[in-house]
Amino acid sequence: MSGLAESFAAVRQRIADAARAAGRDPSSVQLLAVSKTRTADDVATLAALGQREFAENKVQELVAKAEELAHLDLRWHLVGQLQRNKATAVVGTGAVVQSVDRVSLVERLAGVAERAGTVAEVFVQVDLGGPEGEAAARGGVAAELAPELADAVAEQPALRLRGLMAVAPRGEEPGPAFARLAALSERVRRDHPGAVELSAGMSGDLEEAVAAGATVVRVGTALFGPRPLASGAGP
């Protein structure tokens, strides 16, 4: 078994174990492979092992890999912050946008999707707090404003609200942060029953996220190994 195959099996086992520990069906948790800074060959190798959902932080990388690997029929997600002027490129790939954090971006995505004759799937990204300056770096709408932003998404016929996404703040235990996110998700679902997804948890804290109810975990390092130092920390 190759190194990537071993890592893939190990991550899937971690997800299954965490789900069972939480009294959940392992199939209720989806693995999203975060392939930022990795090559298209790395993605193709993981795809050959059965992984279909991949995520990128940067629009340029997402578009390039989506085009190069179009024959593999993969599903792409954007988990990094999105500028309005790049919305057309992202919608053109059919990618799920997990980083919707402001009304102006909702309106831009909806307009692009409507003109393209498609429905774009999105998550509202929530700021879970943390040390001063850290929250802004990780992105997301303030928790108290997330239901209002979810309403704005739901009002757009060309958008489909899948749920909420967040990154655990540094300097805080992830469990309580994910518990806050889960409570907020329940509140949003009362108004939008279709927003059943909760994207939370990365390589270092996926167990805590699954315990809190995450339906999607975003894993990069535990699958592909450490990234070059210049790329910074990530999922």
Catalogue all structural domains in the chain, each as residue range(s) with its CATH number: 3-224 (3.20.20.10)
Strands 216-219 and 159-166: unpaired
Per DSSP, the residues of 210-224 read HHHT-SEEEESHHHH
d(CA 93, CA 69): 11
Q: Contact 112/91 with Cβ under 8 angstroms?
A: yes
Q: Is the pLDDT of residue 120 over 90?
A: yes
Residue 29 confidence class, pLDDT cut points 50, 70, 90: very high
Q: What is the pLDDT of residue 171?
A: 83
Q: Is the pLDDT of residue 202 over 70?
A: yes
Beta pairing partners, 165: 125, 199
Token pair, residue 42, equals: 């790395």
H or E element: which one contains 135? helix 134-138
Q: How wide is the angle at C-alpha 187 spanned by C-alphas 235 and 25, nearest 5°?
A: 55
Beta pairing partners, 125: 165
In percent, the amount of the chain with pLDDT more than 70 equals 92
pLDDT in tens, 156-195: 999 999 999 999 998 889 999 999 999 999 999 999 999 9
Q: What is the pLDDT of residue 83?
A: 95
pLDDT in tens, 97-113: 999 999 999 999 999 99
Beta strands in 81-184 (DSSP E): 96-100, 120-127, 141-142, 159-166
Q: Please state at what angle helix 59-68 crosses helix 40-48, rounded to 10 degrees.
A: 60
Q: What is the pLDDT of residue 129?
A: 82
Task: Name the nearest CA neighbour of 91 among 54, 66, 70.
Answer: 66
Q: Is the pLDDT of residue 147 over 90?
A: yes
In percent, the amount of the chain with pLDDT more than 90 equals 88
d(CA 78, CA 98): 6
Range name among 4-13, 53-62, 138-147 with the lowest pLDDT average? 138-147
